[in-house]
A and B are shown apart, each in its own frame.
Chain A
Amino acid sequence: MDTNYDDLDDLDLFLKETKESVITLRTSLQEISNNNSTKDNYDLAKRAAHTIKGGARLMNFPIVENLAFKIELACDQLRSGELYFTKELIEILLDMTDALSEVMEHIKEHSNEGDNQNAHIENELEKYLTQQNSKPSGEETGDHERPTEDSSKDSISSTKKHHEEGVQERSQNEEQIKSSVKIDINNLEMIMNLVGEIVLCRNQMLILSEKEKDPLLTNAVAAFSSITSELQESVMSTRMHSLETLFSKYNRMIRDLSSKFMKKINLSIKSQEAELDRTILEALNRPIIRLIEHIVEFSVETPEIRVKNQKDPYADITLNSYKENGQVVIEIMDDGAGFDLDDVKNNLVESNILKKEHLSKMSVNEILLSIFHPNYTTSQGNPPNEDRMGELAIARKEINEIGGQIAVQSHSGKSTLFKLHIPQTLTVMPGITVVASGETYVVPQSNLQELIRVKKDMLTQIETINGQETYRLRGKLLPLLNLNEMTGSIQEQKDGCYILVLLCGDEKFGLIVEDIYDIEEIVVKPLSTHLEQNNLFLGSTLLGNGEIALILDVMGVGARKNIKTSEAKMIANHDLNRTKTSNSTLLFNLGCTEIYGIQLSQVRRLEEINTSEIEYTQGRQVIQYCGGILPLIELKEAMEINHAPVEKNIQSLIVVSYRGHEVGLKVNEIMDSVQYEGELDTHIMSDPCVMGVMMINRQPALLIDTFRVFDAVFNYQLYNVNSPSKGRIFYIDDSAFFLNIVSRHLTTEGYECVTELSSTKGYEILCQEHFDLLLIDLDMPELDGFEIIQKSRENIGLKNLPIIALSSIISSSDRQRAINLGAEECLVKLNRQELLNSIDQHIANEATLA
């Protein structure tokens, strides 16, 4: 029915009021449905329906009026006991409320009611009532008639009476409805901004008043400060809405989904009081809908299966929310099938997300978290649905985008719980101020897990593994990013630094900063459109001292540096976690049964390339790699070896450092890395490229000397054995393994190297023969390295002998001790290049001094 409204304000008012009433009505009916059928609830429902009816009558919307009237009547009868409470009846009433809501939507968009597409709802009610009336109770029949009489009476009344009645009802309703006013959004935003400014001024005044130390001033500022905090809270609460606005929508959705998937579901809402900022609420809607859809489709079993498993045919989905630590936690729980751990593991392996070996090292929680991986699919028992792939991943992405996190717990066969942690607001957040490159930045506290202070002498704890700076945090490796690097200037951290352990989705990483100031509440000011694409920062703020500080976007920072656990890193991680010494060897094969190994310390990276990427230049295979060219070598070019000619599309490579460059070693399969503690048999193999034979799990593995291999392949001139050696070096170490390797390195470079296992005997030899340099291992059982250094220095004949100490684990105190005792340097085992450089240098020094 088309009607002209001269005064659209009335329509707006009607829409708003009715919307509120519908929510009240729905909630009360919900409560009643959950067996909470107190008189109060009936009253609330009845009054809400009554209000809707009155407004609709005034605005001339007969369909709405009619629906509301019927609902009101039913509630009245329920309250007085004339109608008995049944779940079915409440369902019908809820359906009618939904229908009413739909008509309201139509009115909102078209300013008219449209056709009544929901007439069947009213028939449902009729049907139900007639069914009820067929029960023995003559009075009920009478009651059934009364309502109809009332409505006909109304339609006879004059319009004027309508109007008066309507107005009267409305004024009554106005008292009952919570008083609220309409306010222009722009005004509200302006007020919020101004309050934000006041907060900043307040911060400044706090700093200044502290300096002044005037008691009167301090008191006044303190009072001002607490008033400001209250003002801020009040204004913030205008933007905050309770989760009710979200949760109330899901009822209808779940009913639709249940019929679509033919499952029976009860939705209960435990608590929806927690409040969130309006924008966050809007952004939460989509991901929660995705989660619920996933639950209904996959978690909840069909009623038949549930009954078979001795469960109630009606599944329970519970929504709960509460505040915790300044965040809002939303729980979505269902008592469905849960996630079966083995199923999940199989899916992960089949979808190529993780390998079986890695799964065994992961905790249950970690494995469950993997269901949010974009490629995760549920194949078991459910029809493969292409669209559903990654729904969970998208939900998690949307949640992360508003600064929230999601986790999942599950009991196979019993229940699943999705837990969402959402920050309450994005406009004001606690953050920690840090310094890098002389500028101040803010890191949001919600991402911050830990703070680590790295003192000056502990800087060595920051290691470089595979080109990535890392820190060993309680046994696990933490990849590090340097804020200085990202913001432009690269400064040496001479005086130590701080590491912020940040959580970015599931990934943890550390951020190195120069200094840390304080944790404070900051007002987030968005960046201008020019800087929108910048994903390092999510906004800026004014600090108490007037300085501008940029706020770090932790997700953006992590993504930019691409902190992902690649396979190489996982192997290195896995390995380094177990390593005490550097006897780590990487095992590989060439397509046949023989196993080969190279020292992990030489390995830069593990790569997989497409055979199509291989190019040929000057008769050699190369690939374009990291902006340069990487030559590819096969072991058979230097050795007598069986290479099975395996034609695959993917070629595995071990990238090895060689004389300051990188070379790619083509292998068939990278097997594992082991920490080899056993003997290295150097006598069996006569091939110079083989350092020795290791016994690994009763199988022999050949330890390859890659330098010899590459030297041979590239025709590098080895030093002529007959030419005078560059120097005579004495190396004492209790590990035959290292004695062997280091002496090989040294002889390749042209030095003469004498080795000795026993330290006591070694010292004797040292006194008797002449050497140009002493290499000594610090961690030996008998005469330990420190003692030898000390003794050598006390010995007049050895006073000037350059001594380089080697050790697997270096602490700064050890290093200092060795140097204090007289060593020139203390190096970690085993960096070939570093060692050679050092030896060159010290022998040269001695030569000039002599």
Chain B
Amino acid sequence: MNQEQVVKDTFGVGVNESEKTSLVATFLFGQEIYGVDALKVQEIVRFQKMTPVPQSPEYILGLINLRGQIVTAIDLKYRLTGKHIQINENSMNLILNTESGTCSVIVDEVGDVMEITESQQEAPPETMSTELKKYVIKICKLENVLLSILDSEMIARKE
């Protein structure tokens, strides 16, 4: 009981010891918050010079040099919403390392790594577009916002 109290104070939420939690790395496209399994995130790097690939699919922004490894940069915002991301010097590269390969997701802002419990997660609503449903595994109700948790495998996989 004491333990519970400590945890509650630290995290501000009630955590049932037996409840499973997962770590989610969050990021922003504009004002919308998304998240992926933190274990799949290899690292986060600042925006880097990208080499464009002519005649490539619309959602490919180009290639970046990650310490000798050439990684494909993906416009995830475009894949989710149909709008291209506006790249500026504040954009960040989220490097995902999945079974389907390594790729970099360009995001507007990087958020915290959150610990999300099972109970906070819900299935995505029926009203969600099929495009989004491909990527969204769960929706999470945080204090003021809705966090959409995405499937990193689907992100890294070819369309």
Query: B residues near A, CB below 8 A?
Result: 49, 51-57, 60, 63-65, 68, 70, 72, 74, 100-101, 103, 157-159
Across the interface, which residues of A come within 8 angstroms of B54, CB to CB? 486-488, 536, 550
In the bound complex, CA of A194 to CA of B157 (Å): 25
Chain B nearest CB, measured from A777 CB (Å)? 45
A-B contact pairs, 16 of them (CB 8 A): A197-B68, A201-B68, A528-B72, A528-B101, A529-B100, A529-B101, A530-B72, A531-B53, A531-B72, A532-B158, A534-B55, A534-B56, A540-B51, A540-B70, A542-B70, A550-B63
User: What DSSP secondary structure best describes chain A's contact surface?
Assistant: mixed
Chain A nearest CB, measured from B57 CB (Å)? 7
Chain B nearest CB, measured from A552 CB (Å)? 10
A537 interface neighbour in B53, B74, B158, B159, Cβ under 8 Å: B53
In the bound complex, CA of A525 to CA of B101 (Å): 14
In the bound complex, CA of A529 to CA of B153 (Å): 13
A439 adjacent to chain B (CB < 8 Å): yes
Listed from nearest, the 6 A-B pairs whose CB atoms lie closest are A548-B51, A487-B54, A528-B72, A197-B68, A529-B158, A530-B158
Across the interface, which residues of B come within 8 angstroms of A546, CB to CB? 65
In the complex, the chain B residue whose C-beta lies closest to that of A204 is: B68
A200 adjacent to chain B (CB < 8 Å): yes
In the complex, the chain B residue whose C-beta lies closest to that of A486 is: B54
In the complex, the chain A residue whose C-beta lies closest to that of B102 is: A528
In the bound complex, CA of A536 to CA of B55 (Å): 8
Across the interface, which residues of A come within 8 angstroms of B57, CB to CB? 530-531
A386 adjacent to chain B (CB < 8 Å): no
In the bound complex, CA of A130 to CA of B103 (Å): 71
In the bound complex, CA of A201 to CA of B69 (Å): 12
Chain B nearest CB, measured from A439 CB (Å)? 7
Query: Is there an interface contact between B60 and A548, defined as CB atoms closer than 8 Å?
Result: no
Across the interface, which residues of A come within 8 angstroms of B63, CB to CB? 540, 548, 550
Query: Is there an interface contact between A439 and B51, defined as CB atoms closer than 8 Å?
Result: yes
Chain B nearest CB, measured from A226 CB (Å)? 21
In the complex, the chain A residue whose C-beta lies closest to that of B68 is: A197
Given contacts A541-B70, A542-B65, 14 further A-B contacts (CB under 8 A): A201-B68, A488-B52, A528-B72, A529-B157, A529-B158, A530-B57, A530-B60, A531-B60, A536-B55, A540-B51, A542-B68, A548-B51, A548-B63, A548-B65
In the bound complex, CA of A571 to CA of B53 (Å): 37
Given A540-B70, A546-B65, A548-B65, check contact A531 B51 (CB 8 Å): no
In the bound complex, CA of A487 to CA of B68 (Å): 24
In the bound complex, CA of A201 to CA of B60 (Å): 27
Chain A nearest CB, measured from B127 CB (Å)? 29
In the bound complex, CA of A549 to CA of B52 (Å): 10
Across the interface, which residues of A come within 8 angstroms of B157, CB to CB? 529
In the bound complex, CA of A197 to CA of B68 (Å): 6
Query: Is there an interface contact between A525 and B70, defined as CB atoms closer than 8 Å?
Result: yes
Query: Is there an interface contact between A531 and B56, defined as CB atoms closer than 8 Å?
Result: yes
Chain B nearest CB, measured from A537 CB (Å)? 7
In the bound complex, CA of A542 to CA of B69 (Å): 9
A145 adjacent to chain B (CB < 8 Å): no
Across the interface, which residues of A come within 8 angstroms of B68, CB to CB? 197, 200-201, 542
A547 adjacent to chain B (CB < 8 Å): yes
In the complex, the chain B residue whose C-beta lies closest to that of A548 is: B51
Chain B nearest CB, measured from A207 CB (Å)? 15
Across the interface, which residues of A come within 8 angstroms of B100, CB to CB? 529
Across the interface, which residues of B come within 8 angstroms of A197, CB to CB? 68
A518-568 at interface with B (beta carbon < 8 Å) = 525, 527-532, 534, 536-537, 540-542, 546-550
Chain A nearest CB, measured from B142 CB (Å)? 32
Query: Is there an interface contact between A550 and B51, defined as CB atoms closer than 8 Å?
Result: yes
Across the interface, which residues of A come within 8 angstroms of B52, CB to CB? 439, 488
In the bound complex, CA of A527 to CA of B55 (Å): 13
In the bound complex, CA of A230 to CA of B148 (Å): 51
0/1 interface trace, chain A 358-384, chain B, CB 8 Å (1 if under): 000000000000000000000000000
Chain A nearest CB, measured from B67 CB (Å)? 9
In the bound complex, CA of A528 to CA of B64 (Å): 12
In the bound complex, CA of A542 to CA of B70 (Å): 8
Interface centre among B54, B56, B65, B100 (most CB of A within 10 A): B54
Query: Is there an interface contact between A486 and B55, defined as CB atoms closer than 8 Å?
Result: yes
In the complex, the chain B residue whose C-beta lies closest to that of A529 is: B158
In the bound complex, CA of A530 to CA of B96 (Å): 15
Chain A nearest CB, measured from B158 CB (Å)? 5
Interface centre among A527, A546, A549 (most CB of B within 10 A): A527
Chain A nearest CB, measured from B48 CB (Å)? 10
Across the interface, which residues of A come within 8 angstroms of B53, CB to CB? 527, 531, 534, 537, 550
In the bound complex, CA of A534 to CA of B158 (Å): 13
Across the interface, which residues of B come within 8 angstroms of A536, CB to CB? 54-55
In the bound complex, CA of A536 to CA of B101 (Å): 22
In the complex, the chain B residue whose C-beta lies closest to that of A530 is: B158
In the bound complex, CA of A635 to CA of B137 (Å): 70
Chain A nearest CB, measured from B98 CB (Å)? 12
In the complex, the chain B residue whose C-beta lies closest to that of A487 is: B54
In the bound complex, CA of A529 to CA of B74 (Å): 12
In the bound complex, CA of A89 to CA of B64 (Å): 64
In the bound complex, CA of A391 to CA of B100 (Å): 37
0/1 interface trace, chain A 194-206, chain B, CB 8 Å (1 if under): 0001001100000
In the bound complex, CA of A274 to CA of B111 (Å): 56
0/1 interface trace, chain A 476-507, chain B, CB 8 Å (1 if under): 00000000001110000000000000000000
In the bound complex, CA of A487 to CA of B70 (Å): 20
Given A528-B103, A529-B100, check contact A547 B55 (CB 8 Å): no
Across the interface, which residues of A come within 8 angstroms of B65, CB to CB? 542, 546-548
Interface centre among B52, B70, B157 (most CB of A within 10 A): B70
In the bound complex, CA of A486 to CA of B72 (Å): 20
In the complex, the chain B residue whose C-beta lies closest to that of A556 is: B55
Across the interface, which residues of B come within 8 angstroms of A534, CB to CB? 53, 55-56
